[in-house]
Amino acid sequence: MSKKYIISGGKQLSGAIEIGGAKNAILPILAATFMCEGPVVLHNCPRINDVYNMLSILSKLGCNVNWCGEHSLKIDTVDANSWEMPDKLAKQLRSSIFMLGPIVARFKKAYFSYPGGCEIGVRPIDLHLKGLRELNVEIEEKHGHIMCKADDMRGADISLDYPSVGATENIMMAATLAKGDTTISNAAREPEIVDLQNFLNACGAKVYGAGSSTIYVRGGRTLKGVEHTLIPDRIAAGTYLVATAITQGEADIKNVVPEHMSALISKLREADCKIYTDKDIIHIKGPKRPLEMRIIETLPYPGFPTDMQAQIFTFACIAEGTSVVVENVFDNRFKHVSELTRMGANITVKDRTAIIRGVETLTGTEVFAKDLRGGAALVLAGLRAEGTTTVNGISFIDRGYECLCENLQKLGAQIEKT
């Protein structure tokens, strides 16, 4: 039987929790270890399903992977012997596409199936393939598979049509082993890209400009093994901030980088949350009832993150007045709407825009998670709702949150996994 959360709503959250390493940072860094000629030790690694799946991929490719502590990993790729992506694992994990650049860079060829993951809309890998083609990689797409050949991979000036995080990272990784220099224009600017740059440079690469819209890579480097500590997960931290606010609670969220969360903090303050930041701590006190947030538009960083849209959406459901959410990044990321409506939310959706008329209370019922962040949003709704909420399909949630149930229990939530 599948696992589920049982939540008794109405408990104010209080206390403090610490945030672990970022899901969106560790996955490309795990892929990048494939290019290293010595062992890599990564610290602050989250124990989540997406990480387990990526480690399975590395193991299938011949790498030696071991946990060497509660949140530390040792990866040795010296015995890697395969350039073919395992079909089954690739279909379980969207981020398997991160392996494309490193495999091509190391073996000069690769054979991939199209990746899977949450069905949150069209997430084309065209930009990944276009970038690799510009690095002089020959690519053939046939029968759901991608075949790559790179006998003479060379640096290039690459301009992305859209600041795709994954494409930026894939091109960065491949370009470190290509001959010559590469410039990536209209690059994504997310903090996780800066973390990847820092990891690559510690290994011996020469990458500059991450965090800006132009990244420079000096190719032809040899990458050695290093130790690296991952940045904290800004999306997990944001989820706990909203959980505290939606329950009228007060908590300290520790081991965070407040600057990475400016867009979310701004919206929470607009809703009348009291927020104070101090180095690596965010203190939040939620209002009795939030004020409307007039418009929330998801945008590439430093705009409001699409990975926090569902959570802030739930918060808006119990706000005074009307809030508007516009999803600009993915075209199928309102799957939580039907479930929130069953809990009493008043929502109207047209294409990529949702109009949310806040209600005083939500009512507990049985709901179903349909993707990672939407599942987390339903948990937040259950924390606020009157009565009992059952959240099914929590395997989606386990893809991206470590110990969500236990952390919420630490803050006083009445939630259990069954």
Span 73-98, pLDDT tens digits: 999 999 999 898 877 777 766 678 88
Does residue 28 share a domain with residue 12? Answer: no
Q: Annotated catalytic, 273?
A: no
Does residue 172 share a domain with residue 37? Answer: yes
pLDDT, residue 116, reads 57
Does residue 238 share a domain with residue 203? Answer: no
Does residue 413 share a domain with residue 334? Answer: yes
Rounded Cα distance between 104 and 57, Å, is 15
Task: Give which of 199, 205, 159, 202 is closest to 178, Cα–Cα.
Answer: 205
Does residue 138 share a domain with residue 14? Answer: no
Q: What is the 3-state secondary structure (H, E, C) of 103-165?
A: HHHHHCEEEEECCCCCCCCCCCCHHHHHHHHHCCCEEEEECCEEEEECCCCECCEEECCCCCH
pLDDT, residue 122, reads 46
Distances (CA, A) of 42 to 10, 69, 196, 415: 39, 10, 12, 31
Grouping H, G, I as helix, E, B as strand and the rest as coil, residue 101 is: helix
- The contacts of residue 223 (CB under 8 Å, 6+ apart) are 35, 36, 37, 176, 177, 200, 203, 204, 205
Does residue 172 share a domain with residue 107? Answer: yes
Contact present, 62 and 82 (Cβ < 8 Å): yes
Q: Which of 36, 45, 118, 317 is catalytic?
A: 118
Does residue 9 share a domain with residue 66? Answer: no
Task: Give which of 270, 221, 261 is closest to 105, Cα–Cα.
Answer: 221
HSE on the CB side for 141, CA within 13 Å? 8
Does residue 218 share a domain with residue 255? Answer: no
Last residue of a domain, one of 178, 199, 229: 229
pLDDT, residue 1, reads 62
Does residue 239 share a domain with residue 141? Answer: no
Rounded Cα distance between 405 and 417, Å, is 7
Does residue 369 share a domain with residue 286? Answer: yes
Does residue 30 share a domain with residue 14? Answer: no
Last residue of a domain, one of 203, 229, 255: 229
Last residue of a domain, one of 229, 262, 279: 229
Rounded Cα distance between 60 and 93, Å, is 14
Span 52-68, pLDDT tens digits: 999 999 999 999 999 99
CATH number at residue 132: 3.65.10.10
Distances (CA, A) of 260 to 191, 215, 408: 7, 19, 22
- Strands in 214-218's sheet, in edge-to-edge order, are 157-159, 181-185, 214-218, 206-208
Does residue 220 share a domain with residue 161? Answer: yes
Determine the structural domain holding residue 336 and report its residue range: 4-20+232-417
Which tokens in the block code for residue 18? 């610490």
pLDDT, residue 124, reads 65
pLDDT < 70 stretches in the chain: 1, 92-94, 115-124
pLDDT, residue 376, reads 97
Bridge partners of residue 184, in order along the sequence: 158, 215
Report how many domains make up the chain: 2
